[in-house]
Chains A and B, each alone.
Chain A
Amino acid sequence: MSGPELLRAMGVEKRFGAVVAASEINIAIAVGERVSLIGSNGAGKTTFVNMITGYLKPDSGHIFFGERDITPLAPRDITRLGVARSFQIPQLCAELTVLDNMLVAFACHDNRLSFWQPARKAGAVASADTLLARFRLGEHRDRRVAELPGGVRKLLDIAMALTGSPKLLLLDEPTSGVSAEEKFPMMDIVMTALGAEAMTVLFVEHDMDIVERYANRVVAFYSGRIIADAAPGVALAADDVRRYVTGTLQHAEH
């Protein structure tokens, strides 16, 4: 691990009835790492993301953010500590414009919301415009979200997550629902937009080309357990990962 530690999960367990969604999850993530979470459907990736954001509470174990145990905190308090997330299906306000969606996001981070201050005050609009420009969304600024194509919505969803200058960004399948030829350009836009802030990123991803190109660490899940945690080249070559995640090692081969 390179930089100081940002996130640590210790002995995290989570069950839904008989289903083990997380078991003995021990992981430490350093500032600035780009970690990709991989695994087949139901392997426990999203459960892990949901436990970091506080949306789900682990049955046992602890999650630390920096020095602080965030396991008992409410999702909103965790967000305010600097954990932001984007969504597999973009979660936007469809009837509002792109700019208004950004202003909503900025307003939500404001500790002193006002009945008086206009939402469109110069400072907020300028910050929104800057962020929109970084995500190359400037041209869509005054359009309603309902009119926008899927790829643009994905980018806006991520841009909104960045409004609070989070320390940790969780991206849930950033390229799902994006056509094959748009995936790389889109991830380039996202990673360039993030680059300026040396942000720590955890992203759930199914496309191994994306994982190899944008992650510097891969954590593979299988039925609630971590089966590999290494650099992409090493992790993707591991037998368990090839057998249970990427499917490149067939059972017949051994």
Chain B
Amino acid sequence: MATLAGSAARERANASSNTRFLLAGVALTLLLVLAGSVMPKWLTFLITLAASHGLVSLGIVLLMRGGVVSFGQGLVFAVGAYAAALAFNKLGFTDAVGLALLGGVAATLIAAPFAPLLSRYRGIFFAMLTLALSMVAYGVLVKTEVLGGSDGFNMGRPTLFGQTLPDARVGFVMYAVTITFAAALALLARVYFDSTRGLITLAVRENELRVEYLGGSVRRSMAINFVLAAFAGGAGGALTVMSLGHIDPNFSYWTTSGEFVFVAILAGWQSVLAVFVASTVLEVVRSFSSLYFPNTWQLALGLFLLFVIRFLPRGIGSLWFSRVWFRRLGGGQ
């Protein structure tokens, strides 16, 4: 009886902690959007790219929770971006939120047929297969003259809910749209991580054999994660191209994918917020290093990653997440 009362109390604690996550997420989003209105332009641009790139890395974190790392998220990033840019240029579909969703859907459709195949592979085989897919896409894009070949093409300025965006405000509006979109997906990711399916993903990472013997489907878990990661990556690609205004096949190049993996490792797989913090760190290091040490900024990045792996093996998310987790468990005894 005491146990039941205890678990009921814990359940209430969990429910309120979920609400806390939601409220904290909404508050943080509002705060960032408000802050954006007084930020210098370079900073809003930097954070916009950090958020849109962060979505791609969020997809990798989703896969990491199941024990695999994709080295080819550049593929879905590029597919989402090309889909959005083409819809804009060829179909005259210009709404920013609509294009972000379209990018996600396009990437999902391209990734879905490969999900059942990839769900059979682990470790380096999964990483190499995803890398191969993204490089095939790169090869095709470079050779496709209609899409501008290796130079890519430009895309115009998106609209929002039927409103055209004037020069002075477009940067801020894209910032607000990207932050809000990223925050919505981040909160959904949190809900998914804490769901029954999310827990099974963690179990798959630890012990596939047991999950199968308990009646769970390991391959279905992996396939679902791959498809969800594609959606996040595609939306991230679309949001990126809307801010950059230009796209080229490098979106699908392996070094681009490598940067997303870098952010995912930096973030760790526990915290969703950490993904965006890590993504911002990368953008900051990239901007400043390429300004002051143009040819050695990768060196700074490498040293930073080394430092994180040595001292925070579970990523920067473990700085705060293990404590939150502990409290959610009811603080032990």
Which A residues fall within an 8 A CB radius of B?
A: 53, 75-76, 79-80, 84-85, 87, 91-97, 99-101, 103-105, 107-110, 113-122, 124-126, 129-130, 133, 138, 142, 160, 163-164
Contacts and interface: CB of A to CB of B under 8 A. Distances in A.
B292 to A, nearest CB: 41
Contact of B213 (A85, A107, A122): A85
B317 to A, nearest CB: 15
Contacts of A133: 3
A163 B214 contact: yes
Contacts of A119: 194-196, 198-199
Contact of A113 (B196, B210, B214): B196
Given A104-B216, A142-B330, 4 more contacts: A75-B212, A96-B206, A104-B214, A115-B192
Closest 8 CB pairs of A and B: A93-B206, A108-B216, A108-B214, A122-B11, A119-B199, A107-B196, A79-B215, A91-B210
24 contacts: A75-B212, A84-B213, A84-B214, A104-B199, A104-B200, A104-B202, A104-B203, A104-B210, A104-B214, A107-B200, A108-B200, A108-B211, A108-B215, A109-B214, A115-B191, A116-B191, A119-B198, A119-B199, A120-B10, A126-B8, A142-B329, A142-B330, A160-B210, A164-B214
Nearest to B194: A118
Nearest to B228: A115
B290 interface: no
Interface of B: 3-4, 6-8, 10-11, 14, 18, 191-192, 194-200, 202-203, 206-207, 209-217, 329-330, 332-333
Contact of A104 (B6, B8, B192, B211): B211
A121 to B, nearest CB: 7
B215 A80 contact: yes
Main secondary structure of the interface of B (DSSP, over half): helix
Contacts of A99: 329
Contacts, number: 120
Given A97-B329, A126-B7, A142-B329, A109 B199 contact: no
A91 to B, nearest CB: 4
Contact of A53 (B18, B196, B210, B213): B213
Contacts of A129: 3-4, 6-7
Contact of A93 (B10, B198, B202): B202
Chain B CB count within 10 A is highest, among A76, A97, A107, for A107
Contacts of A163: 214
A121 B217 CA distance: 21
Contacts of B197: 107, 113-115
A124 to B, nearest CB: 8
A138 B3 contact: yes
B47 to A, nearest CB: 29
A211 B128 CA distance: 50
A118 B11 CA distance: 10
B195 A115 contact: yes
B207 A116 contact: no
Contacts of B202: 93, 96, 100, 104
A85 to B, nearest CB: 6
A125 B210 CA distance: 20
A119 B201 CA distance: 12
B214 A79 contact: yes
A113 B209 contact: no
B214 A105 contact: yes
A30 B212 CA distance: 26
B215 A76 contact: yes
A103 B199 contact: yes
Contacts of B11: 120-122, 125
Contacts of A105: 214
Contacts of B207: 91-94
A113 B210 CA distance: 17
A49 B119 CA distance: 28
